[in-house]
Structure 1
């Protein structure tokens, strides 16, 4: 795990490049609240109420991503019938590699979604499948606060699709659902103490 000072320096570097707190939180796999706190506090004597999730060891090789995607595919088929799934959404940027592999493994369409950094309606890439009339599984790497997943579900609904399941590598949520959609993760990170 990186030290708090290293996280602060990396967050500051990204902020100086013009990234928003939301974009920095996505890049560093921390909640927006933690990034805001990190960039606005003196680093002495304060405790952090978040956990950084790093999966670089998986992400550097496609075959490792594929192995994780195989586990995610197993979870999907355990939770719902594939007759109820037409498409797989990958949330940019870290959900896309897993969603691409799942799309192949499950022989389903691939949809790519880019959330808007300010919380406005996101965008579905026109280079991939559309949303309207589809039954969708959403894939991402980490759920921290659940806000990105919540917005994705809402945007799918607004475009005429239906989300039947969300699957992530790691969840920091205390709940197994968002907007009445089941959320499943390979790992759940929970603060204790």
Structure 2
């Protein structure tokens, strides 16, 4: 658990290393708006932040724990595939944190692996040429945390523009209340919700 001062110091440290607010938000599992708010030190004036920090480091430090969470994601994928009556060609991992889970799931399912890297400042990203291509593929998108849905929306848009079809998006934790994003079913292992009034 981080205090606001600790989060600020961590965000500032990453900013000083040349990371963009978007990259910092991915690293700290916060929304971009929260990172901008932190770095502006607005929290010294206003303490009621509208975000939830998601930390899963206890899982991420051991491969067997990543494999175990991936097995749960795989179970959800199989459930959704049966309900939607569709097959999948490829598993796409969004860098950085979606890659380990996507890799495990592609291994379990014996499917191609696609790697997508969103650009930190532009509204697009790119697919790594070292992995499978997107065109003509039925794809499941894997990431760690969905905060505002911006990264997933960009990913879905870029997949469609490259001629792929997104069948499902699955994340470890979602801060969104919606079960769909740009017409794609969104599933998560956990959903974080703010409750109460400001």
Contact 1:5 1:43 in 2 (8 A): no
Q: 1:16-55 maps to which residues of 2 (within 5 A)?
A: 16-40=16-40, 41-55=42-56
Aligned position for 1:70: 71
1:80 shift after superposition: 1.1
Aligned equivalents of 1:36 and 1:20: distance in 2?
Answer: 10
- The normalised TM-score by structure 1 is 0.97
**Given the alignment, which residue of 162, 165, 168 partners 1:165?**
168
Aligned equivalents of 1:104 and 1:168: distance in 2?
Answer: 18
1:174 shift after superposition: 1.1
Gaps of 5+ in 2: none
Contact 2:37 2:43 in 1 (8 A): no
1:119 shift after superposition: 3.2
Aligned position for 1:56: 57
- The normalised TM-score by structure 2 is 0.95
Across the aligned residues of Structure 1 and Structure 2, the Cα RMSD in angstroms comes to 1.1
1:83 shift after superposition: 5.0
Contact 2:174 2:190 in 1 (8 A): yes
**Given the alignment, which residue of 83, 88, 107 partners 1:104?**
107
CA-to-partner distance for each residue in 1:80-137, whole Å, 9 max, x for gaps? 1485200000000000000000001111100000001113321100110000000000
Secondary structure of 1:118's partner?
A: coil
Secondary structure of 2:139's partner?
A: strand
Aligned position for 1:113: 116
Counting matched residue pairs gives 193
